Amino acid sequence: MDRSSFMAGNGYVILPSRLQQYDFTSGYIVSYQSFVMATPSLAPRWDNLLFPLSWEVWVSVIAASVVLAGVLTMLGQAGRATYPSLSQSVLEVYKILLGQDFSQWRARTTASRIVIAAWLVVALIVGVAYRGNLTASLTSPVYPPRPETAAALVKAVERINIPPYGADWKKFYLASNSEVFNAIGKLLYVGPSMEEGLRLTAEKNHAVIANRQFLDYVIAQNFTDATGKARLYVAQSNLETVFLGYPIPHGAPYKPLLDRIILAFTESGLFLKWHGDQMDEVRAAIFSKQRQQEGRANEAASDGQATSLTIAHMQGPFLFLTFGLVTAFLVFLVELVFRFLLNADR
């Protein structure tokens, strides 16, 4: 606007709102705009004990246990008190299911022995499958789903941050005919630096919009631990695909010359070669840093700290124990009441 030229080593995105103020050289590289959010963490779940088997399997096991207890009771009555009561039949069925012993003296008839043998096979398969899947689910848990698209982004976050240069991006999103982009523009907050925006993203329900390659670099350098687990992640889908160019005044006589020079660099692949070399150097530095951190992590692992299960994994057993204690206490109170009433009648 002041008829002066500004050249910088960093790219400048060619946006419609910027074209009204100044012109651009020919685009020399493609920029992919994406967003970054905090990697979902594990929350304590009471149903970790149920996760290894589907609801259909659990219902089938319970139904089979009830039917089997009834069959054993009927066989006991036909065989003259092989199984005197339904409660004892239920106890035998669940003892086998939990891998405990069963009262062999009750299986006196051939029919009852066949039924128990079939149930032993079922209990073996269910028990092995449950223990194997339980171990796998506790050591390699399934993390909650994370937003990967623009539509999911606007529903998941409270605010989207962008560095001070993002004022034009906010205008761009608000002027879009897309409802999703309009929602992004309303959530977009211009002001914090990239470091501050990423820190807020890691600590709060925020997101940051920036160039994908730059985000990958910053996350790998500052938000990734020695095991390769990142506190932040870049979404798989891109919000925008734009070109980078150098801003120049409208009607600048040197634009054709700059375009020819930039085109020569672009067609020879020098921009891509430079970016590839930069990323290789960054990866090498990050790999060396992580190797040093892994050495310290392995020392901590030798003390048994790295593989410890947290309450997020083991909340289910403790809740189940609490439920059992409360149920037993209530049953104990009911038994006391019934005993008191029976003694009062006598």
Q: Which amino acid is at 218?
A: V
Q: Of 99, 97, 119, nearest to 107 (Cα)?
A: 119
Q: Of 94, 12, 73, 27, nearest to 271 (Cα)?
A: 27
The C-alpha angle 281, 283, 287, rounded to 5 degrees, equals 120
Q: Of 271, 218, 215, nearest to 245 (Cα)?
A: 271
The answer to whether 223 and 198 have CB atoms below 8 angstroms apart is: yes
pLDDT at res. 240: 85
Q: Of 187, 218, 287, nearest to 36 (Cα)?
A: 218
pLDDT at res. 208: 92
Q: For residue 310, give both structure tokens.
A: 């947290």
pLDDT at res. 10: 62
Residues (pLDDT < 50) of the chain are 81-83, 300-306
The answer to whether 234 and 18 have CB atoms below 8 angstroms apart is: no
The full length of the chain comes to 346
- 307's CB contacts (< 8 A; 6+ apart) are 139, 301
In the chain, what are the domain boundaries?
12-41+143-297, 46-139
Strands (E), 106-248: 159-162, 188-190, 206-211, 232-234, 240-245, 247-248
pLDDT at res. 305: 44
Q: Give residue-wise pLDDT tens across range 131-162.
A: 888 777 777 766 778 889 999 999 999 999 99
Q: For residue 319, give both structure tokens.
A: 């809740």
The answer to whether 157 and 40 have CB atoms below 8 angstroms apart is: no
pTM score, whole prediction: 0.58
pLDDT at res. 82: 47
Separation of alpha carbons 276 and 184, rounded Å: 31
- 320's CB contacts (< 8 A; 6+ apart) are 49
The answer to whether 103 and 92 have CB atoms below 8 angstroms apart is: yes
Separation of alpha carbons 106 and 98, rounded Å: 19
The answer to whether 214 and 193 have CB atoms below 8 angstroms apart is: no
Other C-beta atoms closer than 10 Å to the C-beta of 96 total 20
Phi, psi (5° rounding) for residue 210? -165, -175
Q: Give residue-wise pLDDT tens across range 52-86.
A: 788 888 888 888 888 888 877 777 666 554 445 67
- 189's CB contacts (< 8 A; 6+ apart) are 159, 160, 161, 162
CATH topology of domain 12-41+143-297: D-Maltodextrin-Binding Protein; domain 2 (3.40.190)
